[in-house]
Amino acid sequence: MHNATVVALVFAIFLIPSASGAQQSSMPSGETRTLSSQLLRGYQRLQQDLVETAEKMPDEHYGFRPTPEIRPFAQLVAHVALAQFRTCAFLKGEPNPRKDDKEDATRTKAEEIALLKASTAYCDPPVTALTEASMTELMPVGPNQVAKGLVPVELVAHGMEMYGTMAVYLRLKGIVPPTTARQNQEMKKSQ
């Protein structure tokens, strides 16, 4: 990871809760937010958003690509899932269990969603185990030493980028993305 990217990612992790309008705008009295708890909150919300987005796109639109040069929706789902496997393998200190899978492999909607959910299940244990102390522990990533906390930051940053792209695909098909749907529901409740 490049230094500027790392700084931007760490900064972005603090913006995740404020970027989603459906989340609380202020902290409840007595709540303590640590870097690890905030990272976990952002990670968990992102996983929910990704799965809901994959579920919202109808089967018949999984091959949809806005222009011929860009990935179809199904490949976006596979891309984020396989990237999560790759990133979490580093965090676990083990070989990527899905290194031979291809983004452009032919899968059904159900198979794409299963792959995404499997990547979340694979990532959950090492991400949820991070503490304030363990986030600064160094681990090998290729020829480099990287703080463990930066690996899930990369997960969240990349996942948010992919969610944003997937949300555009939904909009192009007239479907409201999950975060907007939740925000609309919250606004209706508060009226």
Q: What is the CATH number of the domain that holds 83?
A: 1.20.120.450
The span from the CA of 59 to the CA of 110, in Å, is 9
Is residue 109 included in any domain, yes or no?
Answer: yes
Q: How many domains does the chain have?
A: 1
The pLDDT tens digits for 33-78 are 888 889 899 999 999 999 999 999 999 999 999 999 999 999 999 9
Is residue 148 included in any domain, yes or no?
Answer: yes
Residue 100, token pair as written in the block: 């031979």
Is residue 27 included in any domain, yes or no?
Answer: no
From residue 188, alpha-carbon distances to 24, 43, 53, 92, 132 in Å are 15, 26, 21, 42, 37
User: Residue 65, Cα to own-chain centre: how many angstroms?
Assistant: 21
Is residue 94 included in any domain, yes or no?
Answer: yes
Q: What is the mean pLDDT of residues 72-86?
A: 97
Domain extent, residue 151, equals 35-177
pLDDT value, residue 36? 87
Cα–Cα nearest to 159, from 7, 36, 54: 54
Q: What's the whole-number average pLDDT of the chain?
A: 87
HSE toward the beta carbon, residue 178, CA cutoff 13 A: 18
